[in-house]
Amino acid sequence: MDSILFIQLLNGLQLGILLFLLSAGLTLTFGIMDFVNLAHGSFYMLGAFFCASLTLATGSFWLGALLALPLTAIAGFVVEKLVIQHLYRRDHLEHVLATFGLILCIDTLTHLYWGPEGIAVPLPAVLNGQIELFEGVVFPTFRLLIIGTGCIVALGLYLLVNHTRVGMLIRAGASNRTMVSALGIDIKALFSAVFALGATLAGVAGMLIAPITEASIGMGNDIIITTFVVIIIGGIGSMKGAFLAALLIGMIDTIGRSFLDDFFKVLMSSEAAETAAPAVSAMLIYILMAIVLAVRPQGLFPPSSR
């Protein structure tokens, strides 16, 4: 039981890392540009598709992922220039409406270009196996890679945000937008860069999940709501909040899926438990969000000043 608990914690960690990659970009665009981007998940999907088709074309996952990175960034940049840029000054409702339109467009274009099937991503043999971490605990190598990559990205973002000039602007933008633009900073360029960065991070998440599930249409829409839950719980605009909340959600979701039915079986008949457990474990993160919002509307770890 101890080893399975440990494995589930690792699984939760891996899911959390993935959610962090997605929510980092979302919380940046939300915190700095005050922009609600429902289409954020589309970059997750694009990253997966770019990586998948390039992997098949080049025969190497590493090369595919490496080439997919700039492509996703360019996609983010183009979308920002074409549509998003013109929306910053509108209200949240219009953001939601326009980015929903974007989702429909990007999904359909993906369908037209890659077909409806979805693409499986072959992994090099090194990554396709398992590693025995210690006695009795065997874990898929690739999932460890996800955890590792996520930690490196998190560290990189930490350094970027806290120790560079761009990071300073990002922090300043998150806490006081008006002031940054008043200081004569080229806010347009900053916004474009931040948006493209966010899109790339989402793309990385897509590249990492594609070899586990596959690149498929609509995969971004499946996860975007969970990502919103993460940034709301973490506190909008807060990178630290996004990180901790992503791990929290990843853990809660995984632990709920693993142990809730056993737990319910103690309380009720096993038949009722089988019905209730999947429903409740699906609800868990929403319940958590509602509680957090009701008790602490600014989120658990809001940026220092808003």
Partner 1 sequence: MRWFSIVLLLILAIVPPVAFITGHAFWMDLFTRLVVLAIAAVALNLILGYGGLVSFGHAAYLGLGAYAVGIPVYHATYGGFDSIASYNGFVHLGIAIAVSAVYALVTGAISLRTRGVNFIMITMAFGQMIFYAIVSLETYGGDDGLTIDVRSEFPGINLDNPLALYGLCYGSLVLVLYLVYRISNSRFGLTLQGARSNEERMRAIGVDCYRYRLTAYVISGVICGYAGFLLGNFTTFISPEMMDWTRSGEIMFMVILGGATYLCGPVIGALVFILLEHLLSEITVYWHLPFGLLLIASVLFLRGGLAGALSNPPWFRKDRSSALASDTSTAASGTATKAPTRADDDV
Partner 2 sequence: MKKLITALSAASMLTAPALFAADEVKIGFVTTLTTGAASIGKDQENAVNLALEHIGASMGGKPVKLIMADDGFKPELGKQATDKLVKQDDVDFVAGYIWSHVLLASRKSVLDAGKFLISANAGPSPVAGKLCHENFFSTSWQNDQTPMAMGETLNQQGVKSLYVMAPNYAAGKDMVAGVERTFKGEIVGKDLTKWGKDAQLDFSAELAKAKASGAEGIFVFYPGKAGPAFIKQYEQAGLQDSLPLYTVFTVDSLSLPKLQAGGMKGVLGSQMTQFWSPDLDIPANKKFVDDFRAKHGSYPSFYAAQAYDAIQLIKSAVDAVDGDLSDMDGMRAAMEKADFPSVRGEFSYGNNHMPIQNFYSRTVVEDADGNWTTTIDATVFENHQDVYAGECSL
Q: Which of 22, 46, 102, 194 binds partner 1 (CB under 8 A)?
A: 102
Q: How far is the CB of 14 from partner 1 (least distance, A)?
A: 24
Structure tokens at 91: 């209200």
211, 121 contact by CB (below 8 A): yes
Q: Which of 3, 138, 186, 286 binds partner 1 (CB under 8 A)?
A: 286
Q: Which of 111, 148, 164, 166 binds partner 1 (CB under 8 A)?
A: 111
**What are residue 235's phi and psi, to 5 degrees?**
105, 120
Q: How far is the CB of 240 from partner 2 (least distance, A)?
A: 25
Question: Which partner from the list partner 2, partner 1, none does 104 bind, CB cut-off 5 to 8 Å by kind?
Answer: partner 1
Residues that bind partner 2 (CB under 8 A): 3-4, 7-8, 11-12, 14-15, 56, 111, 115-123, 128-130, 138, 140-143, 209, 211-214, 216-219, 221-223, 225-226, 254, 257-258, 261, 274, 278, 282
Question: Which partner from the list partner 2, partner 1, none does 7 bind, CB cut-off 5 to 8 Å by kind?
Answer: partner 2
Nearer to partner 2, 171 or 257 (CB): 257
> Can you tell me the distance from the alpha carbon of 228 to that of 234, in angstroms, rounded to the nearest whole number?
10
Question: Which partner from the list partner 2, partner 1, none does 211 bind, CB cut-off 5 to 8 Å by kind?
Answer: partner 2
DSSP assignment of 1-32 equals -HHHHHHHHHHHHHHHHHHHHHHHHHHHHHHH
Cβ burial, residue 297 (10 Å; 0-12/13-18/19+): exposed
Cβ burial, residue 189 (10 Å; 0-12/13-18/19+): exposed
Write each residue from 162 to 201 as x if it is in contact with partner 1 (CB under 8 A), else as -, in one continuous string: ---------------xx--xx----x--------------
Q: Any idea what DSSP says for residue 84?
A: G
Task: Report the sign of the C-alpha dihedral through residues 104, 110, 113, 114, in that order.
Answer: negative
Nearer to partner 1, 240 or 306 (CB): 306
Using DSSP's 3-state secondary structure scheme, residue 197 falls into helix
DSSP-based helix, strand, coil % in the chain, nearest 5: 80, 5, 20
- The stretch among 13-21, 119-127, 160-168, 223-231 that binds partner 1 (CB under 8 A) is 223-231
Residue pointed to by tokens 């498929």: 216
Nearer to partner 1, 78 or 138 (CB): 78
Nearer to partner 1, 152 or 283 (CB): 283
Q: Any idea what DSSP says for residue 76?
A: H
**What are residue 140's phi and psi, to 5 degrees?**
-60, 135
86 counts as binding partner 1 under rule CB under 8 A: yes
89 counts as binding partner 1 under rule CB under 8 A: yes
